[in-house]
Structure 1
């Protein structure tokens, strides 16, 4: 039977047969280099974290230190950690280098009193004289002795053993393993080590396979986390990971712990091992994954975020909708190359359609009955669901459904029975609420520029400087290749990047200062990844993007070759910590809320306020439409204030009392029946009628008779409307009457105090 015949998941397969099938696949999948026991790697990139003590290259376990330095720190009373890290010695006493007896010619190991057992007895028999003097008088009569077999151990082998007394005792305590195995363990004490020797053969192979997969993905687990998982499996008496699924193993693991968060990395490794083993025996790729009702995205070659690890069709009750959804989402992923987040949102919209059909007693409907009236009912149902929140969520759901129906109609063989009137019209979408501008104002940006040098991590600080200079999205900035600089024919520098949202290559010009920052970042990467940088620069520049190669800002953990981009979540954590540490506040003194995307808004808003045309802003941000660019490029308060000051043409404050009636009347643009229009000459008026609530409507004492006449006509009209039963129109005119009464009272008060009245409410 070949390997292809072994891959799959027969329905109702007994566990013993499943384990036997997995054993054959594992024997082939785990090469000999991953079966060494114990498996040891000493590169810092293979650790979760390196000990914080300078020049110590062991794995961090406790308080950022290796086990040896952590024990030393606890033993001396847990002094201030930062002082201990900078003052303690990096060297630890290795267990294969043992101190010898203080008697200079004695080659036995020390026991008590810094003497070997033989000389310790002699010293006590001599009534414990001063040791420093006594050791010089001892005469050693032992003949030639063989040396301990362990490298670097110069002590004498004792009692016919191959080892010195101490190492012989340790060898026996470990169950007298083979000499090669024992010596490898002692020599590599303290190095990152994955030890599965206590586990049965099947389980050992399963974890070795998980380590191999982790290494290939660039995420090898730390040995400390792995040892925690091994201890739990030993206590459980487990023989194979196939005994339970991923969720069950996670629950079992946590049941053994007092604080699950303390061992979350170990639980994550065990969960990963279950996933990889399941993928091995069930197969991967579209051919095997498409028929399933839960698509594991990792089996399709995607590395999604934790929130979108799978596409789950089980909540869709209608089989015809499941089949159509699978075909459409497969097309979206493979042909249209939509992102995982987009496809997940599309599936959510179809799950809502299924929930509507079930809730309204239409679950038995076929696709023939998905007509326009049913769609109208669905849209109304969406508006009645409080959990959907804003109209934007409803709009996104309707939009995804519209694209789905259009795809079924364009591909007639997908759903030939779909009614022709199953369409979504533009009028079906909720009213669009204009998005507010999110650019940071001058008060906050002044603090940002002042405190930016205090950003402790150079990678996060560089990303902030880059986004402020280019307007890149945080995901696009993190994913930049090592050398993103290109030049035009005039030798001007540009950043070349992949616009993930629009799925296309884009360029943005940069200044000489921004270019210098990029060169500094390249220097840091070259020092961290010298071999990878040399290999990158030895190849011609990529003709197309994106490219999986060395990054300009590599991830700072579990990234041995620099191929993984800096994580957006890591940047966001650094950003929030920096804002809190620097005490950045808004005008009211409250802690400022700053997100990574606001750097992009601020970049666009600054350009517009400096006179850059909106078409140019659209090109710089690589937007698809001017509408989206205009959302980013909102005018700042300073620009609006400048326009208002130009209209007022004075330095007075916004009070209702003004120096003189004539001054305001002379500044009016248009004389109205009961006032004047004060709109600036360079602007147009959107008010078709001379509305009393116009924000720039101006009145003076000369308009009092007109207001009183208007009030009389309004009272007459209200009486006529009430007599005809037109109460709605009467109520509208009562609002006008209230405005008139307010204006008349203000004008009379101004006349009585010798001032003038202006109303711009």
Structure 2
């Protein structure tokens, strides 16, 4: 809503007000009479402002317009206690003809550029910036973080005094701060929550235990990520609360006893309940709590802290064994239904696009939301690549992307809210993030909420963003991607992490199963006492035997093929490795050909991630080199 440039009042405030009433056509005898009485009683309006709140609020409907006029013309600062009790939603009529008009016009324009709806813009404008401009008596450019903090404190004081909630005011303060940050007036974005001091989080613990745990957590801050230390604090708190209940007189950590404290705590975890869902905690949660306690006791012992127990109290067998579950990917039909809802019927358009990008690139949610605006890199002759920032394993990576993903990123760039660079949580510098919404970074909760909404719309059960990463990896495995490529795309640092997906749909196991099933059916139809051997063409599919996805051994007079599930044959190349085996010059061509094939088989095993199999072929190559040298020497 455009606001006109203000006209300043004259030195004679009473005359200026009467002139204002004439110009706006709002004058009547009640207004003029109330103004006369007000100025007779308060020649200096500042004297009215120091009256008790009850007196200030007692002004009648004919007197409030003169008070509003004086506030909007920067003559009167009535106090936040008064401003928070006055409804100022109708102030937009008067503000266009006041000195506050240009500042509010600028604020509203910036809020629109950040994507705030008209309803939110006008609600925020009337609740926060109007009151700040009135009470500070300064222009918009001169507002500070201290002004916002003072306003928040006034809201809290009002709730304490009256019992009236102030959450709507705090939400508007947060919105206003984002707009002021966008305009470059303040240098801080509003914080959502923020870390609770360790002393407050561990307040229920006995003082000696609390002091040692706080000292430990402060030390871990030097080497661990803040989220990791926060998780340690949560898990150690459970143990501290348990100690306060079972042994309130415990003097220090050094007095811990395994039979009296540790073993009862381990037993209590079996029946521990998650307060969020009133269900027993998972085995994984039990394991994490025990590991956190074990790490705490081990660390302070190695650091030679005086509070360390004199002997080891927790052992590896005390840690609950975790089930080896397969990745929870989305079946093809579920994947398609979810993608259709996110594409065609998004709730939060930016969050829906973020989920589609996560599914297309297999990102962790933290990596997704840390993507920067310049995350796409064009490499000549190698296409487009997406730079993935530091994530869970503290590694960066580049992954190839296609035109469809480029189009999706272009769409995200078009709908994101533009603004100033924001502090990066890992690199400690300011950055332009890809996912920004209403002047701040898109939150994990917003992404999860959109996924819940989309899943419900698609008729699906509860889903998590990480399942989209599992679905991406599973699709690659089904398409035959190599282990090395899968590790690079997912940002895994060990083959074991990626091999979890290989166990989902092992095409070799499937092929071996089908061959064995066909053979079993054939035997059932045609009884025979002999051993049936499948034709080589049925095993290799007509391809070169060295390229089949089987365990292969090159023998001097032929070759052997076995399914991976069978493992390598214990007798393969047993003769070549026998110390009694000797060769002669006439066998050199056979040994050389065997060595060439062994090298090919070693490379094939390495490409498939079969490290032990590749090492077996390398041992054969080394043995063949010895035999060839002996034969050449005669």
1:471: how far off? Answer: 0.6
Match of 2:168 among 253, 265, 272: 265
Match of 1:393 among 285, 288, 308: 285
Question: Could you tell me how far apart the structure 2 residues matched to 1:632 and 1:308 are?
Answer: 38
Equivalent runs, 1:243-258 vs 2, <5 Å: 252-253=163-164
Q: Corresponding residue for 2:495? A: 626
Q: Corresponding residue for 1:447? A: 337
Match of 1:465 among 353, 356, 364: 356
8 Å contact kept, 1:371–1:421: no
8 Å contact kept, 1:601–1:633: no
Q: Corresponding residue for 1:321? A: 209
Q: Corresponding residue for 1:607? A: 476
Match of 1:512 among 386, 403, 411: 403
Aligned CA distance change for structure 1 residues 449 and 460 (closer, same or farther; 3 Å): same
Q: Corresponding residue for 1:409? A: 301
Aligned CA distance change for structure 1 residues 567 and 309 (closer, same or farther; 3 Å): farther
TM-score, L = length of structure 2: 0.56
1:609: how far off? Answer: 1.9
8 Å contact kept, 1:609–1:639: no
1:566: how far off? Answer: 0.8
TM-score, L = length of structure 1: 0.47
Q: Corresponding residue for 1:338? A: 225
1:417: how far off? Answer: 4.7
Question: Could you tell me how far apart the structure 2 residues matched to 1:499 and 1:198 are?
Answer: 42
Structure 2's unaligned 5+ residue stretches are 7-15, 39-59, 75-90, 97-121, 176-188, 274-279, 536-560, 568-634
Q: Corresponding residue for 1:495? A: 386
SS at match of 1:402: helix
Question: Could you tell me how far apart the structure 1 residues matched to 2:521 and 2:367 are?
Answer: 48
Aligned CA distance change for structure 1 residues 304 and 369 (closer, same or farther; 3 Å): farther
Question: Could you tell me how far apart the structure 1 residues matched to 2:64 and 2:167 are?
Answer: 30
Question: Could you tell me how far apart the structure 2 residues matched to 1:147 and 1:181 are?
Answer: 12
Equivalent runs, 1:708-747 vs 2, <5 Å: none
Q: Corresponding residue for 1:30? A: none
Q: Corresponding residue for 1:566? A: 442
Tell me if 1:350 matches 2:350: no
1:423: how far off? Answer: 5.1
Tell me if 1:188 matches 2:95: yes
Equivalent runs, 1:585-600 vs 2, <5 Å: 591-600=460-469
8 Å contact kept, 1:371–1:422: no
8 Å contact kept, 1:494–1:509: yes
1:668: how far off? Answer: 10
8 Å contact kept, 1:473–1:600: yes
**Per-residue Cα deviation, 1:100-141 (whole angstroms, up to 9, x for no partner):** xxxxxxxxxxxxxxxxxxxxxxxxxxxxxxxxxxxxxxxxxx
Tell me if 1:579 matches 2:438: no
8 Å contact kept, 2:373–2:432: yes
SS at match of 1:495: strand
Tell me if 1:368 matches 2:254: yes
How many residues are aligned here?
439
1:601: how far off? Answer: 0.3
8 Å contact kept, 1:437–1:634: no
1:639: how far off? Answer: 7.7
SS at match of 1:509: strand
8 Å contact kept, 1:497–1:506: yes
Tell me if 1:424 matches 2:314: yes
Tell me if 1:149 matches 2:16: no
Equivalent runs, 1:58-73 vs 2, <5 Å: none
8 Å contact kept, 2:362–2:468: yes
Q: Corresponding residue for 2:371? A: 480
Question: Could you tell me how far apart the structure 2 residues matched to 1:178 and 1:365 are?
Answer: 63
Tell me if 1:552 matches 2:434: yes
Aligned CA distance change for structure 1 residues 634 and 438 (closer, same or farther; 3 Å): farther
Question: Could you tell me how far apart the structure 2 residues matched to 1:592 and 1:638 are?
Answer: 29
8 Å contact kept, 2:283–2:320: yes
Aligned CA distance change for structure 1 residues 661 and 616 (closer, same or farther; 3 Å): same
Question: Could you tell me how far apart the structure 2 residues matched to 1:664 and 1:173 are?
Answer: 111
SS at match of 1:422: coil
**Per-residue Cα deviation, 1:329-360 (whole angstroms, up to 9, x for no partner):** 11223x124233x3333223323333443454
1:397: how far off? Answer: 0.9
Question: Could you tell me how far apart the structure 2 residues matched to 1:147 and 1:316 are?
Answer: 63
SS at match of 2:164: helix
1:572: how far off? Answer: 2.0
Larger gyration radius, structure 1 or structure 2? 1
> Alpha carbon RMSD of aligned pairs, Å?
5.3
8 Å contact kept, 1:479–1:566: no
**Per-residue Cα deviation, 1:693-712 (whole angstroms, up to 9, x for no partner):** xxxxxxxxxxxxxxxxxxxx
1:492: how far off? Answer: 3.8
